[in-house]
Amino acid sequence: MTPRSSALSLATLALLGLSATDATAQGAALPPVVVTEPARPKPVRRAVASPAAPSAAARAQRQASERASARAAARPRAAPAAPPASAPAATSTAAASDFQDPTLVTRTQIERTMPTTIGGALADRPGVSTTGYAPGSAERPILRGLDSERVRIQENGLGSHDVSALGEDHAVPINPLVQDRIEIVRGPEALRYGSQVVGGIVNAENNRIPTFIPQGGYQGRVLAGYATGSNASTVAASMDAGANGVAIHADGFRSQSDDYRTPRGRQFNSAGRSEGGAIGISLIGDGGFIGIGASHSYSVYGIPGGEAAEGRTKLNPVQEKVYARGERRFEAGPFSAFRFWLGSSTYRHDETSLNDEGFRQIGATFRNREVEARAELDHVPVETGIGILKGTVGIQAGRSRIGTAGEAGGLLSPANSRTLAGYLVEELSLGGGLKVQAAGRIETTRVNGLAGLYPADYLPGGGVDEPSSYHSSRRFTAGNAALGLVQALPYGFEASLTALHSERAPTAQELYSRGAHEATATFVIGDPNLKLERAQSLEIGLRRKEGAFRLDATAFYTRYRGFIAKVPTGATCDDDFSTCGSGDELTQVLVRQMDATFWGAEIAGQLDLFTLPMGVFGIEGQYDFVHASFGKAGPVPRIPAHRLGGGVFWRDGGWFARVNLLHAFDQNRPGPYDTPTKGWNNLRAELSYTQQLDRAATSLREITLGVRGNNLLDDDMRNAASFRKDLILLPGRTVSLFVSAKF
C-alpha cells in the first residue's frame, strides 16, 4: 500500500469513529460559490430607454451601468444548478425527498435506501436499469437501454477513470454513501462533459474539494445501517470545517455483506466489502476558491452464477485519485467566471479464482492510468434585441492507458487514448417564459493499440490459428450539436423539446479486444476498422415540480447509424482464438456496427390527495419502457423490460411513510442468442422519522431513524438487461434499518 493510501485509510478509520452527519441546511449555509453545475442566474430585463438619441456621455454611462448589472447578475449562486431543461426536485408543498425526480437522487433518498453502487442508487428511476452482474457490487447504470461506453459516469465533473465499461463484472469506484446528490444530465448541458449524451451522463456530486466554510465553523453527518438477507452493514461519515478563508473536508465509508438470500436460497459467491475515504483543502475568498484533494477506494467482491461462482471468482478493484478544482469570479470584463477541474488516477484490479488444487490464483489483471482536465469561462449576460443571452465556453482534454495481463488476461493489450474537445453552451431567454438552449462540441480522439489480422472466414471460428497482430493508430473527429426549447406553461407546467446530433468515437476495447474474459464467460473480438457511431435524437417532455400535483413525463426517439454492439455469434471458445467453434467454456462475442432505433417513454407522477390534521396523504405512479431494434436483424439484446408502478404515501412533520409496488413485465423480445425474461413484482415499504434538535444543547442538529423493506413478496426477480440473468436472481425479501445524524 502506498503512503498516500495508508494516510487516507488512517483518516478514514478515524473519521468513521466520529459522530458525524449530513448538512440538510447546506443550501442555506453556502456562500456564493459554484460546485459542479455552475449556477446561471436569470438576469432581470431593464426598462427600455427613451427613444430620444442619448449623448455619447450618456451612452457610455448607460453601457457601464449595464455591464455592472450583467456582471452582478452573472455571479453564481451557492447551490449547484440543475441542467437548464429540468426543474429542481424540491417543491413548495412537498419535501425534496417526497417526489422522486427521474433524473435526481437527493441526499435524503441516499440515506433511506443505503445503496452501495451508483447503479443501485438510480435503479428504481424510470428509464434506468443496471448491468446487474454482481448485485450490490458491480451494477453499472443503463440509461434508456444504453450501457458501457454510451454512458459517462463522473464525480464532480471528472470521469470515473475505471474499467467498468470494459466488462459488466467491473465495479464503478464511486460510492454513493458519501455523495450529496446523484443526477442524470441530459440535453445541451450534457455536451459540457462528453460525447456520451444520448442516454445521459451520470454525475455524482460531493464536497471533497471544499467550496464553502460552514456556519459555526464545522458541520458533518454520519450514516449507519443494517440489512437482513445478506447480513449487510454500512457506515459512512463526512465532515467539513473551516475558518479564516481555509476549508477542509474529510469523509470515509465502509460496507460489507455476506452472500445474499434469494427466494430459492443463497446466491453463492455474491458477498462483498468496500471501504475508502477522501481528504481535501481549499482556500476560499470573496472572488472564488481553489482546492486540492485525494481519495482512495478499495473493494473485493465475488461474481455469482455459473462457473464464476464454482471457481469462487473474485475481483479486488483499488483506485487512487488526486484532483484539483477552482473558480474565479470577475468584477469587470467580458467574462463573469472562470472554472477548472483537473484529476489524475491509477486503477487496478485482479480477477482471481481457485485452481484445481484449491489455491487462489490470478487469472487476469486490469489497469487504467488516466488524466483529465477541463476549463471553462462564463461570459457576462448579453442583452440582445430579442432576449438575454448567457453561456459557457470550455475545453476538455484527457489521456488514458488501459490494458489487461495475466494467464487469462489477453482480452486487451495495453492501448493509449487521447482526447481534446472544445464546447459552447448558450441559453437565450425570450419573452413569455420561452428559453432556447443550444450547444456544440468538437472532439478529436486518437487511439493506439494492438489489432488482430483475422482470416476472412474467422467467424464464427472453426479452429483457425491465433491471428497475427499489428500496431494500429486510429484518429477520429466527432461533432455534436443540441438544440432545446423550454416553455413555461400555465399552472406551473413546463414543456421542453430537444433535438440532438451525436457522434462518438469507438474506444480501445471496441477496436482492439481479442481474447477471453473469464469473469464474464465471454470471448470478445473487436473490430479495428470501426467508424464513428452517429445518432440523431428527439425528446419531448412535460414537467410540473410544484403544487399538489407533480409530474415528469418524457418521450424520446433515437436513430443510430453504425451502432457499436457486442453481438453473440452462437459459437463458443476456450481461452485462445484457435478454440473458437470447438471450445465450450466461453461465449464468442463480436463487436459490430449496425443501424439501430431506440424509442421509449418515462413517466413519474405524484398527487397529494388529502391534507388533514394528521398529515398529507397521496398517491404516486411511474411507467417506463424502451423499444430497441436492429431493423430486419431483430431486437437489440439485453433491453430492460416495461415497468409499471404505483403506491401511496403519507407525511406529517418529521414522519414519512410509503408503500409502493413496481411490476416488471415479461421481456419477450430477446436479441440474438438471448432468452426471454419472466416478469416480477417488487413490493416496497418504508417508514422514517426525523427530529430536529438544539445543536447547542445536544451537539446534533438532526437525527433520522428509518426502516425499509424491499421485495416483500419474496418474488423471483431477474434483470432482463443482464448477461447473466439466467444464472442470477436478484435479492429476495430484505428489511433494512438506518440511522442518520447531522451536527
CA 524 to chain centre: 26
How buried is 521 (Cβ within 10 angstroms: 0-12 exposed, 13-18 middle, 19+ buried)?
buried
Under the banding of pLDDT at 50, 70 and 90, the label for residue 345 is very high
pLDDT of 143 reads 97
Q: Collapsing DSSP states into helix, strand and coil, what is residue 267?
A: coil
Cell, residue 148: 458501457
Cis peptide preceding 460, ω within 30 of 0: yes
Using alpha carbons only, how large is the chain's radius of gyration in Å?
26
pLDDT of 408 reads 58
> At residue 93, does pLDDT exceed 70?
no
Q: What CATH class has 9-31+85-433+442-482+642-742? A: mainly beta
Under the banding of pLDDT at 50, 70 and 90, the label for residue 99 is low
Mean pLDDT of the 69-96 span: 35
pLDDT of 459 reads 57
- CA dist 256 to 17, 133, 301, Å? 17, 18, 10
Name beta bridge partners: 558.
537, 598
pLDDT of 463 reads 55
Cell, residue 495: 414543456
pTM listed for this prediction = 0.85
d(CA 40, CA 43): 9
Mean pLDDT of the 13-37 span: 35
pLDDT of 100 reads 57
d(CA 18, CA 598): 49
Phi, psi (5° rounding) for residue 309? Answer: -70, -40
> At residue 603, does pLDDT exceed 70?
yes
Name beta bridge partners: 378.
337, 392
Of the candidates 670, 674, 349, 673, the residue with the CA atom closest to the CA atom of residue 519: 349
Under the banding of pLDDT at 50, 70 and 90, the label for residue 732 is very high
pLDDT of 57 reads 41
- Tell me which residue has cell 467454456: 585
Beta-carbon contacts of 694 under 8 Å, excluding residues fewer than 6 positions away, are: none
pLDDT digits (tens, 9 = 90+) for 450-495: 998 876 556 555 555 677 889 999 999 999 999 999 999 999 999 9
As a residue count, the chain comes to 743
d(CA 547, CA 272): 43
> At residue 660, does pLDDT exceed 90?
yes
Under the banding of pLDDT at 50, 70 and 90, the label for residue 70 is very low
Indicate the range of 177-181, 196-200, 224-228, 408-412 predicted with least confidence: 408-412
d(CA 451, CA 401): 16
Indicate the range of 207-211, 434-438, 517-521, 531-535 predicted with least confidence: 517-521
Pairing between β-strand 655-664 and β-strand 643-652 as defined by DSSP bridges: antiparallel
pLDDT of 16 reads 41
pLDDT of 569 reads 84
d(CA 509, CA 367): 13
Half-sphere exposure of 429 (CA within 13 A, CB side): 16
Percent of the chain exceeding pLDDT 90 equals: 73
Query: At residue 450, what is the residue type?
Result: L
Percent of the chain exceeding pLDDT 70 equals: 85
pLDDT digits (tens, 9 = 90+) for 316-342: 999 999 999 999 999 999 999 999 999
Across 654-700, the runs of DSSP E, i.e. the strands, are: 655-664, 680-692
Cβ atoms < 10 Å from Cβ of 465: 9
pLDDT of 102 reads 75
Yes or no: say if 423 and 393 are a contact pair by the CB < 8 Å rule: yes
Domain ranges for the chain: 9-31+85-433+442-482+642-742, 42-74
Mean pLDDT of the 384-396 span: 96
Under the banding of pLDDT at 50, 70 and 90, the label for residue 407 is low
> At residue 46, does pLDDT exceed 80?
no
Under the banding of pLDDT at 50, 70 and 90, the label for residue 628 is very high
- CA dist 5 to 33, 66, 128, 214, 347, Å? 30, 51, 34, 27, 13
d(CA 199, CA 459): 31
